[in-house]
Amino acid sequence: MTAVDWDRLKTYIDKSGMWNLIINFPQDLAKAYDLAVKCVENFAFREPENVVIAGMGGSAIGGDLTREYFFDKAQIPIHVTRWFKPPFFAGKKTFAIVSSYSGNTEETISMMKGFLEKGCEMVIISSNGFLEKVAERKNIPFIKIPSGRPPRTALAYLYVPMLVLLDKAGVKGFSKSELNESIRVLEPMKEELCENGMTAQTAKNLAKEITGRVPLIYGYTPYYSVAFRFKTQINENAKYHAFAAEIPEMFHNEIMGWEGLQSASYFPIILRGKEENRELKVRIDYFKKVLDRSGISYREMFSKGEGRLANQLSLLYIADTVSYFLALLHHLDPMPVSTISGLKKRIEEDYSPLSNFEKELLK
């Protein structure tokens, strides 16, 4: 592979300091837990029949991870919704978590308004903005997280509080020991990233391999949410197309695409974790043989640790760094998302949703 002066690229391209926001993820996890535990001390909730988590973009990924973390643990269903209105079934026995880093996300505020109308029990997770004002006016429990960073870099604060909240609401399955293990697993990875060790080399080499091809990222429960996060991090940080698909569903349709004439334009990445059973292994091994026969190069990413949380977060940590190095290779500052910002400005010019929400919710 061609030698790359990564330090030079980092100095001249990463003007906003995205690197530090990414590598400090282990410390953010610990801080997020302490913050959440302190916030929920005085919260009291009814026993829920279902959970609905509302969010968009980086603020919704925590919900995806939470749903997968609890998929075979929670005694009640957990739904994640990215839309303007709550699902029909939401009602007085719904525990609603409203997640918006900025506090000004139109879709999420609209969802929160619907939760109020349906009488749902609700908690808001945000750094400030309009949602903080509504929480104060309507006396809604509020978890205030640190501000001043892009939502996608605040994942620790948008995920860990959900685990703590659900435990407080009686949805059992999360333990502090799993978080402690996750931090122990991530700390050596951070050292290797800072010192150009094995984790850094793995991430840099994968970024090089992706360049020039479209990554198709495959994952299975409880790691599909990480695959989707990987896709969105490549989109936002590297300004580059990427797609995610779920195992085993993709073996019933998408696998046929690898027989096509354009398959060489794509780069498959398979996320693999501790909870891989025989059924999954047989399918993945077959898929790898299909790729080998077609002459398609691919990569596998393996998780670290014993617990589900450590497996999720170790895959996520390396995925975030790959997206960062891919941005550097493309000579693009990973921080700005000007097209997204442009859309928000266009919406505000057209119908000013926050002004309308103020009239409806703060009167």
Q: Which of 121, 204, 236, 304 is catalytic?
A: 236
Whether residue 236 lies in the annotated active site: yes
Whether residue 344 lies in the annotated active site: yes
Ordered DSSP codes for 160-209: HHHHHHHHHTT-----HHHHHHHHHHHHHHHHHHHTT-HHHHHHHHHHHH
pTM of the model: 0.97
Task: With beta carbons less than 8 A apart as the criterion, state whether 305 and 311 touch.
Answer: yes
Task: With beta carbons less than 8 A apart as the criterion, state whether 307 and 263 touch.
Answer: no
What is the reported pLDDT for 1?
A: 54
Domains observed in the chain: 6-11+178-329 (3.40.50.10490), 43-173 (3.40.50.10490)
Per-residue pLDDT of the chain (363 residues; tens, 9 = 90+): 568 999 999 999 999 999 999 999 999 999 999 999 999 999 999 999 999 999 999 999 999 999 999 999 999 999 999 999 999 999 999 999 999 999 999 999 999 999 999 999 999 999 999 999 999 999 999 999 999 999 999 999 999 999 999 999 999 999 999 999 999 999 999 999 999 999 999 999 999 999 999 999 999 999 999 999 999 999 999 999 999 999 999 999 999 999 887 888 999 999 999 999 999 999 999 999 999 999 999 999 999 999 999 999 999 999 999 999 999 999 999 999 999 999 999 999 999 999 999 999 997
Q: Which of 252, 331, 359, 363 is catalytic?
A: 252
Distance CA 16, CA 10 (A): 10
Distance CA 134, CA 22 (A): 31
Whether residue 241 lies in the annotated active site: no
What is the reported pLDDT for 254?
A: 96
Q: Which of 31, 73, 144, 344 is catalytic?
A: 344
